[in-house]
A and B are shown apart, each in its own frame.
Chain A
Amino acid sequence: MYYFYIVTFLFLVLISSFSQVILKFSANEDRKGLKIYFNSKVITAYSIYLIVLFFSAVLYRYIPLSIGTLLESAGYAFVLILSAMFLKERITVRKLVGTIFIMSGIVLCIL
């Protein structure tokens, strides 16, 4: 059951990485005044983030804080991959190696 909670927590990190990409989409658009902060994309991104936050509080019942903190760093790797997929940002070999390091570190700490 422990691994189910771990995978669910990682899924939450993935969802919150998605909301970062949505924010980036919003930042790339040309908006002025309050529309920069209050538009459908920003509101969607923050709503998703709030929901993720709620479920992470639920999951922390079963996951130690130390592990949760380390799991969150998967966000660095997820954002990198999602930016390559949706924002066409380039992944360099160094960034790819970094992602492998992050993922191996996560595997090592949950074993």
Chain B
Amino acid sequence: MNSIGGVSDTGRKAGKMQKKITIKNFLFMNALFIIYSTAGVFLKSASFYDLFSAYFIFYFALAFIILVLYAIGWQQVLKRIPLSNAYLNKSIVIIWGIIWSVIIFHEKIDAGIIIGGFLILIGIFLVVKE
């Protein structure tokens, strides 16, 4: 699910400040997006098992922990990077999700997904860009 807390007040205030984005902060932000994208992997993994079975709970808990860590990390990102910029970069999560689906779950990616994904990325750019 899309992350919660993305429109927090702290973020909005940080977004108004113009800050120079260092390579370190940029890498931190992208590392966080990669970690965040694995939440989907764990949710998908949980879905292979019976509801409330030990494995289901295990993978679901992992996804939950990832999202809690992400929420904390996101606040740190917003202290260093303007909200609109960070939100824009967040669209990379879509690409990570598709990469994991191919590498881990061997899903077939057809032209519809690639073109659709491309349209979605343009759409996010238009919606988020200040």
Establish whether residues B123 and A16, one from each chain, have CB atoms under 8 Å apart when the complex forms: no
In the complex, which residues of chain B have a beta carbon less than 8 angstroms from the beta carbon of A83?
Answer: 7
In the complex, which residues of chain B have a beta carbon less than 8 angstroms from the beta carbon of A45?
Answer: 4
A85 CB–B CB distance under 8 Å: no
Establish whether residues A104 and B119, one from each chain, have CB atoms under 8 Å apart when the complex forms: yes
Minimum CB–CB distance from A76 to chain B (whole Å) comes to 5
Establish whether residues A101 and B1, one from each chain, have CB atoms under 8 Å apart when the complex forms: no
Number of interface residues of B (CB under 8 A): 54
**Which residues A28-60 have CB closer than 8 A to chain B?**
28, 45-46, 49-50, 52-54, 56-60
Minimum CB–CB distance from A17 to chain B (whole Å) comes to 7
B25 CB–A CB distance under 8 Å: no
Establish whether residues A109 and B117, one from each chain, have CB atoms under 8 Å apart when the complex forms: yes
Establish whether residues B7 and A16, one from each chain, have CB atoms under 8 Å apart when the complex forms: no
Minimum CB–CB distance from B110 to chain A (whole Å) comes to 9
Number of interface residues of A (CB under 8 A): 55
In the complex, which residues of chain A have a beta carbon less than 8 angstroms from the beta carbon of B37?
Answer: 69
Which chain A residue shows the least CB distance to B122?
A: A101
Q: CA A104 – CA B126 in complex, angstroms?
A: 14
Minimum CB–CB distance from A27 to chain B (whole Å) comes to 4
Which chain B residue shows the least CB distance to A103?
A: B123
Q: Which of B12, B98, B119 has the most CB of A within 10 A?
A: B119
**Which residues B36-86 have CB closer than 8 A to chain A?**
37, 40-41, 43-44, 46-48, 51, 56, 59-60, 63-64, 67
Q: CA A54 – CA B63 in complex, angstroms?
A: 10
Establish whether residues B112 and A73, one from each chain, have CB atoms under 8 Å apart when the complex forms: no
Which chain A residue shows the least CB distance to B46?
A: A57
Minimum CB–CB distance from B119 to chain A (whole Å) comes to 3
Establish whether residues B120 and A65, one from each chain, have CB atoms under 8 Å apart when the complex forms: no
In the complex, which residues of chain B have a beta carbon less than 8 angstroms from the beta carbon of A104?
Answer: 116, 119, 123
Task: Return 25 A-B CB contacts under 8 Å, by A number.
Answer: A12-B1, A16-B2, A24-B8, A53-B67, A56-B1, A57-B56, A57-B60, A58-B51, A60-B43, A61-B48, A66-B101, A66-B102, A66-B109, A67-B113, A68-B40, A76-B124, A83-B7, A97-B126, A101-B120, A101-B122, A102-B123, A105-B115, A105-B122, A106-B116, A109-B117
